């Protein structure tokens, strides 16, 4: 409980929005923070492609396990809350010109982009197998 109090004390509130920086792999902490939330926006990520090649474990922890933890906390503690997940166009691979569409195939080319692409697969699996009522795409 002391950690949760510390998070709330160091969080910033603007109107009715609470901004908190937490380690998203801690299920009990994430669950407590989202218990009464209407929406969650997940900006959490390890970044920098070069670093992902030399130290991929941190990317898997934050970008895969962390997002899975948030989804599980939502599913178990606050299933009506919406989640917006911030990702990257790197999940589509390299492009020389033009722009990707969200319907394009995922072609990640580094541990960073592969870890970010896992969110889409995890979300699809969770919605299809564990949380079928969320197939309405409320988890973006």
Tell me: the pLDDT tens digits for 9-27? 566 666 777 777 777 888 9
In a domain, 92, yes or no: yes
Q: How far apart are CA 101 and CA 32, in angstroms?
A: 36
Q: For position 20, what pLDDT does the model report?
A: 74
User: What Å distances lie between residue 34 and 59, 101, 119, 131, CA to CA?
Assistant: 23, 31, 19, 17
In a domain, 140, yes or no: no
Q: For position 77, what pLDDT does the model report?
A: 94
Q: What amino acid positions are annotated as catalytic residues?
A: 89-90, 112
In a domain, 109, yes or no: yes
In a domain, 98, yes or no: yes
CA 63 to chain centre: 7
* Residues making up the chain, counted from first to last: 140
Q: For position 1, what pLDDT does the model report?
A: 44
Can you tell me whether residue 57 is helix, strand or coil? helix
Q: For position 99, what pLDDT does the model report?
A: 92
Residue 29: give its domain's CATH number: 3.40.50.720
63, with CB counted inside 10 A (0-12, 13-18, 19+), is buried
Segment holding 39, helix H or strand E: strand 39-42
Query: What residues make up the domain containing 80?
Result: 2-134
pLDDT > 70? residue 133? no
Count of alpha carbons within 13 angstroms of residue 78, beta-carbon side: 22
Segment holding 69, helix H or strand E: helix 67-77
Count of alpha carbons within 13 angstroms of residue 36, beta-carbon side: 3
In a domain, 57, yes or no: yes
Angle at which helices 67-77 and 111-129 pack, to 10 degrees?
Answer: 20
In a domain, 58, yes or no: yes
Binned at pLDDT 50, 70 and 90, residue 138 comes out as very low
Tally of structural domains, the chain: 1
In a domain, 139, yes or no: no
> Tens of pLDDT along 57-109?
988 888 889 888 988 998 899 988 888 888 888 899 988 899 998 889 999 99
């Amino acid at each position: 409980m002391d950690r949760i109090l510390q998070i709330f004390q160091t969080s910033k509130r603007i109107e009715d929005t609470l901004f908190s920086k937490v380690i998203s792999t801690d299920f009990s902490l994430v669950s407590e923070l989202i218990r009464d939330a209407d929406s969650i926006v997940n900006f959490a990520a390890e970044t920098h492609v070069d670093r992902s090649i030399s130290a991929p474990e941190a990317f898997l922890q934050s970008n895969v396990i962390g997002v899975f933890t948030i989804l599980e906390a939502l599913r178990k503690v606050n299933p009506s809350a919406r989640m917006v997940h911030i990702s990257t166009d790197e999940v589509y691979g390299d492009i020389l010109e033009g722009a990707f569409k969200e319907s394009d195939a995922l072609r990640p080319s580094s541990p960073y982009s592969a870890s970010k692409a896992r969110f889409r697969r995890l979300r699809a699996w969770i919605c299809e197998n564990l949380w079928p009522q969320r197939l309405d795409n409320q988890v973006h």
